[in-house]
Amino acid sequence: MNPATRRLISSSSIPRHVVARSRNSAFIRRASLSTLTKNRVPRDVSNHSKVCNSTLAEASTSSTPLPASLLKQSSDNGTEHHTKIFKEDSSTPIARYHQLVESGILRGDEHQHRIIGRLQRLHNQLLSYDPPTIPSPSESNSLLSRIFPFARSDPDAQAPPPNIPKGLYLYGDVGTGKTMLMDLFYQTLPSNMTRKRRVHFHAFMIDVHKRVHEAKKAMGYRGGDPILPVARDLANEACVLCFDEFQVTDIADAMILRRLLENLMKFGVVMVMTSNRHPDDLYKNGIQRSSFVPAIELIKSQIEVTDLNSGTDYRRVPRALSKVYYDPLSEQTDIAIRQIFDQFTSEHSDPPIENRPLKIWGRTLLVPKSTSTVAWFEFDRLCGQPLSAADYIEVARVFETVFVVGIPKMGLSQKDMARRFITFIDACYESKTRLFVTSEVPVTQVFSDDASNDAAKPISDHMRSVVDDLGLTSHAVGSSSIFTGEEEVFAFARACSRLVQMGSKEWVEMAGQS
């Protein structure tokens, strides 16, 4: 953290401690998240064009903060204690979990302990697992696939290796500790698992589509199945793949996932996934869902499906917000946010410049004002034009701190802008980017459409259920969300939850570290 940032945080109105009442009404003390997370991926401003492959993978492999209420707090003297979670002597999932519980960082949970036991079992199987050598494509098969394009399977990869351990699919609601368990497993992988990758599924699929595009170009007029070489390359890079937030909302993803997963398994790749949904609920009501059903059956037959829902919400502890969100839009808030931007950029060796170019998939995105680590966007420039998830992922990867000013209250006519803003929030959250905003209404209420009594509708039962699960209130998120579809409702509620977490003192201190 640079000196300007340190002074800003110490002089702000952020409370020194976050003390909250848990569900069992006992006071607990939260350990500073800055000591509980591993370093973020270093920012590389000189290499914007590498959006896919290693760049996107690295951008998504940094550890995610532990769910809020997994971190113990107490009502004693309030002195912050700094404990490094992951010590070198905890080399297995169960040992590391016990260490976290004994040190007071996590609360013991019988249900979660059973899940750790399953991770431990997979860990033990990986100790003796010898991943197969990935065969190169045979000339005969290449000729066959050219003559018969429908013959897309690789004779060298017809069946998974007999000794391949069964992977895990961990699903549960927001706040069940999925990402914490994923990180705990990944960081204790046996030393013989040198080829490994932990990645957010959204970034992974962007990477896959880029590779498929390149494979098609390489095949040219000869044709063939581009999924096979992509799966082969991925298997050569990692024999253990950990996907966080596995979900399917796009028909392009749905159409290639079965073949991709099938070939990864045939090449001996062990997969661990976290998701908010049971496999049967993936891509629910999606276009041509029948074509995706084989992928669901493949997951259920080849990967152990485990329910994390125990009735305990590990993030349902109120968190004090620091002064990173400013509303309403006024001259005073504009002055305040500009002063903070000046403080963040005043000691940089590179002064702010206008229209810094970011190269993304052959396109150029201009950043209105930025240093090498701090960016400034007007909301209309960021979400008012058709930017993609890849654009937002690159922005969050490159910049440690992002300012977004002038966020309006979005009604039904701005639904596309709202979707883009949610995608941007997700990208910042995954990259642990520090976020400062000015908005017309409190930032968690910008997605509500209650501008008139005629347009406003009571919060739906589904929305109320999701909001309650996140420990939010209908007042906090607005009485009438502009989102109605099941996937939209969940993405909206998750964005609100993440905005609350990103507004905490712990996040401000932890974010942007390299």
- In a domain, residue 21? The reply is no
Q: Are residues 276 and 185 in the same domain?
A: yes
Of the candidates 416, 348, 344, the residue with the CA atom closest to the CA atom of residue 376: 344
Q: State the number of CA atoms in the 13 A half-sphere of 427 facing the CB.
A: 26
Indicate the residue among 281, 307, 333 that finishes a domain.
307
Cα 391-392-394 angle, rounded to 5 deg: 70
108 pLDDT tier (thresholds 50, 70, 90): confident
Say if residues 492 and 447 touch (Cβ distance below 8 Å).
yes
Q: Is residue 316 part of a domain?
A: no
Size of the chain, expressed as the number of residues it contains: 514
Asked whether residue 438 carries a pLDDT value surpassing 90, the answer given is yes
Q: What are the structure tokens assigned to 35, written together?
A: 């000591």
State how far the Cα of 363 lies from the Cα of 357, in Å rounded to an integer. 9
Residue with more model confidence, 347 or 126: 126
Same domain, 234 and 104: yes
Q: Please state, for a pLDDT cut of 70, what percent of the chain lies above it.
A: 66
Query: 89 and 123: one domain?
Result: yes
Tens digit of each residue's pLDDT (9 = 90 or more) over 36-71? 333 344 444 333 333 333 333 333 333 334 443 333
Q: In what order do the strands lie in the sheet with 196-200?
A: 196-200, 240-244, 270-275, 167-171, 303-307
What integer best gives the mean pLDDT of the chain?
74
What would the pLDDT profile of 369-396 be if each residue is shown by its tens digit?
A: 999 999 999 999 999 999 999 999 999 9
Identify the three-state secondary structure at position 377: strand
Positive or negative, the CA dihedral 208, 214, 217, 223 is: negative
Same domain, 160 and 239: yes
Of 255, 272, 307, the residue at which a domain comes to its end is 307
Q: Are residues 353 and 493 in the same domain?
A: yes
* Residue at 238: amino acid letter: A
372 found inside a domain = yes
Contacts of 238 (CB under 8 A, 6+ apart): 195, 196, 197, 269
Nearest to 233 by CA among 206, 194, 260, 251: 260
Q: Are residue 266 and residue 371 in the same domain, yes or no?
A: no
- Which stretches of 194-250 are assigned E, i.e. beta strand? 196-200, 240-244
Distance in angstroms (rounded) separating the CA atoms of residues 48 and 421: 21
- Residue 18 inside a domain? The answer is no
Residue 334: burial class (beta carbons within 10 Å; 0-12, 13-18, 19+):
middle
Contact 346, 41 (CB under 8 A): no
Phi, psi of 165 (to 5 degrees): -65, 150
Share of the chain above pLDDT 90, in %: 37
pLDDT at 298 over 50: yes
Please tell me which residue, 472 or 92, carries the higher pLDDT value.
Answer: 92
Look at strands 27-29 and 19-21 and give their pairing.
Answer: antiparallel
Please, which residues have CB within 8 angstroms of residue 248's CB and are 6 or more apart in sequence? 254, 257, 282, 283, 286, 292
Domains contained in the chain, number: 2
Q: What angle do CA 29, 30, 32 make, to 5 degrees?
A: 140
Is residue 262 domain-resident?
yes
**Tens digit of each residue's pLDDT (9 = 90 or more) over 218-242:** 888 677 889 999 999 999 999 999 9
CATH number at residue 229: 3.40.50.300
81 and 211 belong to one structural domain: yes
pLDDT at 485: 58
Where are the alpha helices (H) located in 346-485, listed in sequence order?
A: 379-383, 389-398, 415-430, 461-469, 474-477
* Same domain, yes or no: 281 and 337: no
Domain that holds residue 125: 27-41+50-307
- The pLDDT assigned to 364 comes to 92
pLDDT digits (tens, 9 = 90+) for 237-256: 999 999 998 988 888 888 89
From CA 96, how far away is CA 90, in angstroms rounded?
5
Clarify whether residues 376 and 246 are in a common domain: no
Residues 297 and 383 in one domain: no
In a shared domain, residues 377 and 295: no
Strands 27-29 and 363-370, how do they pair? unpaired
> Are residues 114 and 215 both part of a single domain?
yes
Domain-located, residue 14: no
Does pTM surpass 0.85? no
In a domain, 313, yes or no: no
What's the token pair of residue 499? Answer: 């905005």
Q: What share of the chain is helix, strand, coil (3-state, %, to 5)?
A: 45, 15, 40
